[in-house]
């Protein structure tokens, strides 16, 4: 790193991989490197994996527990799946397809971490490989291009400013971004790994109209005079409510 930064006369963003769920081990690794590199947030990936396998039984209040995103966000390279965690690979720990929109909303629309999108999650993938039993299997991975484009649009245009968290229900969690001077419109994200529902959240925009850009919920909502709104999502999905310009 010293050689490269001296040669190119610039500070370089550097990421390393230390494959452990143990936050203490990751914290040690970052310290041993002098705090000069970020790490892939392996505990976050495994939280996503377990939540996706739990069929709605995972406590979503704990989805960020013991992760770099939660405890050392400036060093967190966040991801959902990668080439090793996909089916039939060395570190197989797949995040099930239904949960991936929720997981990507968590890494793309929050203030913490440096998010990374896995190529097959965007474009889909098809391959054959051998399992641990020696038999060959054919794998198809779903493309989530549509929802990822919606989340990326929301990240680029709305995910700015103060962040208020509402991680207060075992199934339904949410957060809001209040906007900034350059990007004044607000956003509210809400998701459920179980049944659908609603949550009152503050967006700081009185009497404003919000629409769900994922189109999971068709009806718009209006905030009250204090800038709070009752934002909704369907079961097993995420809705991203963005402020409409007058």
Residue that is last in its domain, among 152, 179, 201: 152
pLDDT in tens, 14-59: 999 999 999 999 999 999 999 999 999 999 999 999 999 999 999 9
Residue that is last in its domain, among 152, 173, 189: 152
Q: Is the pLDDT of residue 246 over 80?
A: no
Look over the chain and give the mean of its residue pLDDT values, rounded to a whole number: 96
Clarify whether residues 8 and 116 are in a common domain. Answer: yes
- If you count them, how many residues does the chain have? 246
Distance separating alpha carbons of residues 169 and 160, to the nearest angstrom: 24
pLDDT in tens, 139-170: 999 999 999 999 999 999 999 999 999 999 99
Q: Is the pLDDT of residue 182 over 90?
A: yes
Looking at the structure of the chain, the number of domains it has is 2
Q: Is the pLDDT of residue 87 over 80?
A: yes
Give residue 245's pLDDT band: very low, low, confident or very high (50, 70, 90). Answer: confident
pLDDT in tens, 121-144: 999 999 999 998 999 999 999 999
Clarify whether residues 119 and 184 are in a common domain. Answer: no
Q: List Cβ neighbours of 8 (8 Å cut-off, separation of 6 or more).
A: none
Clarify whether residues 67 and 164 are in a common domain. Answer: no
Specify the pLDDT at position 186.
97
Distance separating alpha carbons of residues 102 and 115, to the nearest angstrom: 14
Domain assignment of residue 183, given as a range: 160-243
CATH number at residue 165: 2.60.40.1180
The model's pTM is: 0.96
Residue that is last in its domain, among 113, 133, 152: 152
């Amino acid at each position: 790193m010293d050689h490269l930064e001296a040669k190119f006369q610039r500070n370089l963003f550097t990421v390393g991989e230390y494959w452990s769920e143990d936050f203490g081990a990751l914290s040690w690794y970052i310290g041993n490197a002098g705090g000069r590199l970020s790490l892939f947030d392996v505990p976050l990936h495994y939280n996503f994996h377990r939540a996706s396998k739990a069929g709605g039984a995972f406590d979503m209040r704990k989805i960020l527990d013991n992760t770099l995103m939660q405890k050392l966000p400036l060093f967190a390279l966040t991801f959902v799946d990668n080439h090793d965690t996909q089916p039939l690979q060395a570190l197989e720990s797949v995040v099930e397809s239904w949960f991936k929109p929720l997981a990507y909303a968590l890494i793309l629309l929050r203030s913490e971490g440096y998010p990374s999108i896995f190529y097959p999650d965007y474009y889909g993938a098809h391959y054959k490989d051998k399992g641990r039993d020696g038999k060959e299997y054919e794998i198809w991975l779903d493309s989530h291009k549509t929802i990822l484009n919606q989340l990326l649009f929301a990240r680029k245009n709305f995910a700015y400013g103060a962040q208020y968290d509402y991680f207060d229900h075992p199934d339904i969690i949410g957060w809001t971004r209040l906007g900034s001077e350059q990007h004044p419109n607000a956003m509210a994200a809400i998701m459920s790994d179980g049944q659908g529902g609603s949550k009152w959240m503050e967006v700081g925009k009185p009497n404003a109209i919000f629409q769900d850009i994922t189109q999971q919920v068709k009806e718009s909502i209006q905030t009250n005079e204090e800038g709070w709104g009752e934002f909704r999502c369907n079961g097993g999905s995420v809705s991203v409510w963005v402020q409409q310009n007058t």
